[in-house]
Amino acid sequence: MTMPIVTATPGDLPDTFYNGKADAYDEIHAGATLPEMETRLDWLIDAATGPYWNYVAGYAAQVASFRMQTPLTIGAETELAYAHVEPNPEAIR
């Protein structure tokens, strides 16, 4: 049995939108913090003209995704970190 190769179709958005998303994704995984990403986004918005807005929109979409993901990740990691800790009755008093 062979598997057909299917090309991903990004939709009607221009490539520059996805370039902006990819750049933001790369920066996040390179260690950029949310405040750094938001500052960069502000710079991009201030400098954006014409077709460059598609890039900024993609970058903003990825930053928004990162903003929504951050509290969930912190909560899950905190819960996991304390999952193995037994309560200490002495500390409760």
Neighbours of 63 (CB within 10 A): 23
Nearest to 41 by CA among 54, 57, 25, 30: 57
Q: Say what the pLDDT of residue 26 is.
A: 93
Who wins on pLDDT, 1 or 72? Answer: 72
Residue 88 belongs to a domain: no
Percent of the chain with pLDDT over 70: 59
Count the domains in the chain.
Answer: 1
Look at residue 90 and tell me if it is in a domain.
no
* pTM of this prediction exceeds 0.85: no
Q: Tell me, yes or no, whether 45 lies in a domain.
A: yes
Domain with 51, as residue range(s), is 15-81
- pLDDT at position 8 over 60: no
How much is the pLDDT for 1? Answer: 53
